[in-house]
Amino acid sequence: MLQPWLPVAPDSDFSIHNLPFGIFSDDRPARAGVAIGNWVVDLATAYGLNMFPHYPEAGNAFRKPVLNELVALGRSFSDYVRKIIQTALCDRESVLHQYSDHLLIPQKKVQMHMPLKVGNYTDFYSSEEHAFSVGQIFRPENPLFPNWKHLPVAYHGRASSIVVSGTPIPRPRGQIGQADGTPAFKPTHALDYELELAWVIGKDSAVGQSVPVAEAEDYIFGLLLFNDWSARDIQRWEYQPLGPFTSKNFASGVSPWIVTWEALQPFRVPAPLQQPQPLPYLAHHPRQNFDLSLSVGVRPGHREEFLVCQTNARDIYWTAAQQIAHHTVTGCNMQIGDLLATGTISGKNITQKGCLLEATLNGTQPVKLGENIERRFLEDDDEVIMRGFGQNVNVRVGFGELRGKVLPALL
């Protein structure tokens, strides 16, 4: 076991085995950092002290206000940076220890920013439990459409409105269908969250060329927590025949720290058996997911947080490799900084449902938020808090928190 000289709590998401990348600022401009315990390692300052001599081109990447240039240097580079920092954290003679006052900044003193410039964002529908539960609500006689077990269903979302944790979300307004079949324009009364993960694409592919499923994981730099905010009543009116649009394009949230692909490898587990077998371009062995514990809490107003969901990413039906292979099969190219989200991650039990649409059966059975408080959908001043981590004996790797507070609709 690696034993850092820096005190890190055993239950910290940001253990020495993690070291995720993010963008932060203090009294100086936004730049790249790595999280360890309650601190941020200032990578730009560390570069100036010659901590990363094998990558002279890294200096510019560390000073940029987004991580795209750093991600473009590849997983071998990010792994190199993590190993340099891991070694330094275990050596009291290291530059990191000698200059700790300059290199280690308390997280409570920094502002976190969007980690990436996201060019494209695609949201999949990869959890069978979620797809089946939603289908049961609206089509009890036919919960899964015939195509669902043959391909990873998805829609292209809006990249420009992806925001970092802590960004408040004004209640969206839009067209909402009424009982007489005509629309009314008003604020949504069915605002929802969706608990997801997002793969960060770390390598470009060429237009017109598909990515083979066996090579698809090579294109993933790391993962984020993802909240696909959704206005369900707007969605019901607009989604036929082309799918969601304004009901989801107003905001999506991401956690500020990108957990690298390498840091997550201790949590690989077999993916669920697929029946029927997919077409050859989607078939790969072994199919693997990640054993990651995920949760959602809701904090109503100024009251305490109440846990509304505990689930796991291990049972996602369509894997990351299959998502990328299908996304590119017609020649669509991947670009560095693209996000591919999993869709809502849910389990079988009501306490494992990753959105209120499922947990409340479309608002018919409210969830309890402590004594005398219940929710069918989110109300103004509610704060949604998502968390996720992997735990393997003494190795813990987590994402931190993804927070978003609902504000009243703008006039």
Separation in Å, CA 177 to CA 190, 191, 234, 362? 12, 15, 7, 15
Q: What is the CA radius of gyration of the chain?
A: 21
Structure-block tokens of residue 410: 């703008």
Tokens of 57: 């081109």
Cα 336 to the center of its chain, rounded Å: 16
Alpha-carbon distance of 80 to 341, in angstroms, equals 27
Cβ-contact 340, 324 below 8 angstroms: yes
**How many Å apart are CA 227 and CA 404, to the nearest integer?**
9
Tell me, rounded to whole angstroms, the distance of Cα 44 from its chain centroid. 25
Can the peptide bond before residue 115 be classed as cis, meaning omega within 30 degrees of 0? Answer: no
Q: Please say whether the beta carbons of 208 and 174 come within 8 A.
A: no
Strands 339-341 and 195-201: antiparallel
What the block records as the tokens of 164 is 């970092």
In three-state secondary structure terms, 342 is: coil
Task: Extract the runs of DSSP E, i.e. beta strands, from 301-338.
Answer: 306-312
Measured CA angle at 408 (ends 407, 411), to 5 deg: 130
Please name the amino acid found at residue 300. P
Which of the residues are catalytic?
130
Strand partners, 215: none
